[in-house]
Structure 1
Amino acid sequence: MSTKKALIWVLVWMGLAGIFNLGVYFYMGPQKALEFLGGYVIEQSLSIDNLFLFILVFSSFGIKPQHQRRVLNYGIAGAVILRLIFVLLGIKIVSMFHWVLYIFGFVLIISGIKMMINKEENPDFENNKIIKVLGKIIPITDKLEGEKFFVRKNKILYATPLFAILILIEFTDIIFAIDSIPAIFSITLDPRIVYTSNIFAILGLRNMYFVLGKLHEKFEYVKYGVALILAFTGVKLLVEFFEIHIPIGWSLGIIFTVMIGSVIASVLFTSKSHQEQGKEKKIA
């Protein structure tokens, strides 16, 4: 998929989310509409960092773009089901034990700090524990078999590396959901709003991936914006213990400001660093 086509589809999905949000406004009221918008913005912001990890996974295994699309399609379908389970389970736990929200808040702050201070390193996906465990359950072929997830050789069923990557992507999404679902809980506990805002964000992920695949080197500071958003949502949950409620409007303003600021910083400082590197190469 070309960057232009992917960007158009990203805008289409955002437009559909906006239309749905208008429906929420007219049928459920302005408060629920703000909650949906807040959940959607948080999910989209946090998904950016998750997509960068997808890029690393595919590049590590040398998966071609035409094969990436199939993995992303199945991965998104699995994410839709997993999110429903996480949302229902999470809200059930919170409704029974409200103090769990404060634990979620603490976890989000720690996640944000870790993301902020950890150096950018390429993980060793080929020696990933999940793939090693999968290899003990079912034999995995040494090479890709087109777009197939399974092949049969000598009457023995084998999984292909493409299926192993799909499993890795799904587990990555589970880890991602551990951050994103509690973050939305800082906005609302309405399961309809939490789930629909998640789903609308997820449905545009495949197209967002192909956009970021071309542009991720130019937005290296977005990671820090995502880290700040995680930390902010964690603080928002923790201060509820002291009966301090941060209005949704303020939350949206802070999140928008952080994301726009990180994008502007990426454009300014990344372009300068590239120019300096270019001058050094010319001098050399």
Structure 2
Amino acid sequence: MMTATPTMWALFAAFVVAALVVDFLTLSRQGAHEVSMREAATWSAVWVLVSLVFVGWLWWYLGGTSGDAARQELAADKSFEFITGYLVEKALAVDNIFVFLMLFTYFSVPPAYQKRVLMIGILGALVLRAAMIFLGTWLIEQFHWVLYLFGAFLVFTGLKMWWAAGQEPDLDANPLLRWVKQHLKVAPGFDGERLFTHVDGVRMATPLLVVVLLIGVVDVIFAVDSIPAIFAITTDPFIVLTSNVFAILGLRAMYFLLAGMHERFHLLSYGLAIVLVLVGAKMLLADVVKVPVGWSLGATFAVLAATIFLSLKIPPRKEAPQGAYPFAAKRREKPKPVVTRG
């Protein structure tokens, strides 16, 4: 395990803060608007390029260009670990994106308001994953057998994902959504990008707040799946955190890029299931068979590339889910002056 220097942590933290500030300023300046495919593609390319620049800097900083063979080997290993972790997290994020799309469709969230919801979700995901990563690192250092639990959980999750692939989740059975319906006063329509509004003097939550809460739950669920997956590749907290953060920072742009093509990647869940089983098995056999990081990267890339290729060749069977929530079809800027009681 490599222990990152204070300089590495400081530079990374400064970059994350700068990236979030730029994101917030851009979001504030643009206001509510529908993201075009060109804009989404541009920002997706920018975030991928930034990630490549980071791994190039990491390789150089660790001695990739030095004449020391040991430093060169360390630089290569850590760079491969980052790329593999980034690829796995990015692939799992695609499945996350499809769930976001389902939520937005279910609640008929206007495209112009989706950017704000995703930005809040990204902030929550960054904080949550950082906490889970440091907790997981501490547990592994204190109790090595935790790795076996992570491995078994990944294998179970992969098999469960394979079994559930192609099936639409039942949002009406979601406990949080049922709680919201029973305990919160929800306005009958959207009020711009506001999370709360007033109807006839009564303070109410907007449908947008309900979506934010549900996306927070989705972030928790996917973090529980993805964090053990990255620990199967490396237990270095710096690599684990940076690969996660770089994958998450480009999540919003990738959502708008892939939202219109979700049916084209209908077999991707099967590929993700295989990847989770493979990384889980690698973790379970860590003390018996040492699988090189390059092999893990190659297997992950091959499986995902194959399922994407097959998705493009084999047409999907099901249609996308339609909005079903009682106020889902209402898209007014200002709700009608009607009081609804939870």
Pairwise same-fold verdict (TM > 0.5): yes
* Residue 103, structure 1, aligned to residue 149, structure 2: yes
- 1:168-247 equivalences under 5 Å are 168-241=214-287, 243-247=288-292
Deviations 1:221-266 (A, max 9, x none): 111111111111111101114x211110000000000011111111
- 1:85-124 equivalences under 5 Å are 85-124=131-170
- 1:255-266 equivalences under 5 Å are 255-266=300-311
Per the normalisation by structure 1, the TM-score is: 0.90
Q: How far apart are the structure 2 equivalents of 1:60 and 1:224?
A: 24
Shift in Å at residue 145 of structure 1?
1.8
Deviations 1:96-138 (A, max 9, x none): 1111111111111111111112252333324521133345664
Q: Helix, strand or coil: the match of 2:315? A: helix
Q: How far apart are the structure 2 equivalents of 1:246 and 1:27?
A: 25
Q: How far apart are the structure 2 equivalents of 1:206 and 1:265?
A: 26
Percent identical pairs in the alignment equals: 39
Match of 1:79 among 109, 114, 125: 125
Deviations 1:206-228 (A, max 9, x none): 11111111111111111111111
Match of 1:20 among 41, 44, 54: 54
**Counterpart for residue 322 of structure 2:** none
AA matched with 1:88:
F
Q: Provide the alpha-carbon RMSD of the alignment.
A: 1.9
**Counterpart for residue 43 of structure 1:** 89
Q: Which runs of 5+ in 2 are unaligned?
A: 1-34, 63-74, 319-342
Shift in Å at residue 8 of structure 1?
2.0
Shift in Å at residue 139 of structure 1?
2.9
- Count, aligned residues: 272
Q: How far apart are the structure 2 equivalents of 1:137 and 1:80?
A: 29
Q: How far apart are the structure 2 equivalents of 1:65 and 1:220?
A: 22
* Greater Cα offset, 176-185 or 141-150: 141-150
**Counterpart for residue 57 of structure 1:** 103
* Residue 70, structure 1, aligned to residue 99, structure 2: no
More helix by share: 1
Shift in Å at residue 36 of structure 1?
1.1
**Counterpart for residue 281 of structure 1:** none
Per the normalisation by structure 2, the TM-score is: 0.75
**Counterpart for residue 142 of structure 1:** 188
